[in-house]
């Protein structure tokens, strides 16, 4: 028997989080999230997505045991800007039982219908960021890189059998930065472009984080394409909240801002692949996890580039190439062996071309689904 319950209290939200340990208990590739951080996300602390509208968390019990979960909600701001009537789902998990999965989908659809929504999309990022977007539908075996999705293969069958169809594919590119990039040639092109078009590439100044976030916001306002259906430029408050969330993890040499004189023209945000550390912690920093974190942090071998934006007037001036070059050089100096560029929408051909030119290999695909309801 399947029973769906709404999780509202902190205790129930902790049960919502713990369900992942049931689903993945035998999966050595899964990376456990930090439970405290996930609880803060669910409670809405500095979470731009949950600030944008109503949402609800549901847990499915099967034969009186936790068996699945889903979060459903509405991004009112995005709907208003895109003239849409959409809802979203995120944080879906289920045992390998189609009835459990369909019961959760039914609950989410019913919830959205009651609020007049016409389409459901997902799985979206639970923070309106670039974390845990889509289902992993294709890719090499291995653990996910920091903040990327990971799921059993049967999730794809659940979504598609329920009637979800592809909305957008998101790509992840792998670079072995020790061998995949012709650094000498790439460096010459970057230096020539910076001199000819009068721009430079700076590492972020974390001591002046508010000003740096303002420059990133300026680029986003100009550079984010209007035709992107599911994204709009975040507010300055949202940008600052994201900066505050990522600051403890940041490496100044991996977050870069391109400027012409004092005008920001592009930026990239990359972080070390802390998933290599999180695998050792089993969701907890205390009491001994802090020491494990500090020890294994020194052994991280790669990093992930989350986003790279360039304003339109500088897109044909090799700014993105110069930013990528500095990412690779800085990464090599710190002993990193690889970088992942993700997630890049399939329609973002300019960015895909830039990454492929520098040796990136498409190796994983994440899919956002949609369904008319």
Contacts 24+ apart (CB under 8 A), 242-249: 242/48, 242/129, 243/209, 243/212, 243/213, 243/216, 244/46, 244/209, 245/46, 245/127, 246/271, 247/206, 247/209, 249/274
- Which candidate, 170, 172, 166, 168, places its Cα nearest to that of 142? 172
Q: Which residues of 155-173 are buried (b: 16+ CB within 10 A; e: fewer)?
A: bbebbeebebeebbbbbbb
Q: Mind listing the pLDDT tens digit of every residue in the chain (373 residues)?
A: 899 999 999 999 999 999 999 999 999 999 999 999 999 999 987 788 888 889 999 999 999 999 999 999 999 988 888 888 999 999 999 999 999 999 999 999 999 999 999 999 999 999 888 899 999 999 988 999 999 999 999 999 999 999 999 999 999 999 998 886 677 788 888 999 999 999 999 999 988 888 898 999 999 988 876 656 666 667 777 777 777 777 788 899 999 999 999 899 999 999 999 999 999 888 887 777 677 777 778 889 999 999 899 999 898 898 998 999 999 999 999 999 999 998 899 988 888 888 888 788 999 999 999 999 9
Q: Nearest 5 degrees, angle CA 143-CA 176-CA 228?
A: 70
Q: Right CATH number for 175-365 from 2.40.30.10, 2.170.190.11, 1.10.357.10, 3.40.630.30?
A: 3.40.630.30
Look up the CATH number of domain 2-171.
Answer: 3.40.630.30
pTM: 0.90
DSSP per-residue letters across 92-150: EEE-S-HHHHHHHHHHHHHHHHTTT--EEEESPPTTSSSSS-SEEEEE-SSPPPTT---
Token reading at 171: 């790509």
User: Measured between alpha carbons, how far is 366 from 370 in angstroms, rounded to an integer?
Assistant: 14
For residues 340 and 172, the answer to whether their CB atoms sit within 8 Å is yes
Residue ranges of the domains in the chain? 2-171, 175-365
Same fold, 2-171 and 175-365: yes
């Amino acid at each position: 028997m399947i029973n769906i319950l709404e999780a509202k209290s902190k205790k129930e939200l902790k049960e919502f989080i713990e369900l992942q340990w049931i689903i993945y208990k035998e999966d050595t590739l899964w990376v456990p999230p930090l439970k405290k951080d996930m609880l803060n996300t669910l409670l809405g602390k500095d979470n731009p997505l949950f600030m944008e509208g109503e949402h609800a968390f549901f847990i499915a019990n099967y034969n009186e045991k936790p068996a699945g979960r889903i979060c459903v909600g509405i991004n009112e701001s995005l709907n208003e800007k895109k003239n849409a009537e959409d809802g979203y789902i995120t944080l879906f998990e289920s045992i390998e039982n189609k009835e459990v999965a369909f019961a959760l989908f039914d609950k989410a659809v019913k919830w959205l219908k009651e609020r007049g929504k016409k389409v459901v999309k997902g799985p979206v990022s639970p923070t309106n960021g670039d974390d845990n977007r889509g289902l992993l539908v294709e890719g090499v075996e291995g653990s996910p890189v920091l903040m990327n999705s990971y799921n059993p293969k049967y999730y794809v069958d659940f979504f598609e059998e329920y009637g979800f169809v592809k909305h957008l594919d998101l790509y992840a590119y792998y670079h072995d930065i020790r061998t995949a990039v012709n650094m000498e040639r790439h460096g010459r092109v970057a230096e020539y472009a910076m001199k000819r078009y009068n721009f430079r590439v700076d590492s972020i100044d974390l001591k002046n984080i508010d000003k740096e976030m303002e420059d990133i916001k300026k680029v986003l306002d100009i550079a984010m394409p209007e035709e992107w259906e599911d994204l709009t430029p975040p507010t300055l408050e949202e940008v600052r909240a994201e900066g505050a969330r990522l600051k403890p993890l940041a490496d100044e040499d991996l977050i870069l801002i391109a400027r012409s004189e004092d005008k920001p023209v592009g930026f990239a945000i990359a972080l070390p692949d802390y998933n290599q550390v999180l695998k050792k912690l089993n969701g907890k920093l205390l009491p001994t996890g802090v020491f494990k974190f500090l020890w294994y942090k020194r052994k991280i071998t790669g990093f992930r580039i989350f986003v790279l934006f360039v304003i339109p007037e500088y897109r044909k001036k090799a700014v993105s190439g110069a930013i990528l070059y500095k990412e690779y050089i800085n990464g090599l100096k710190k002993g990193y062996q690889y970088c992942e560029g993700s997630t890049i929408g399939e329609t973002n051909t300019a960015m895909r071309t830039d990454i492929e030119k520098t040796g990136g290999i498409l190796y994983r695909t994440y899919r956002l689904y949609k369904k008319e309801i």
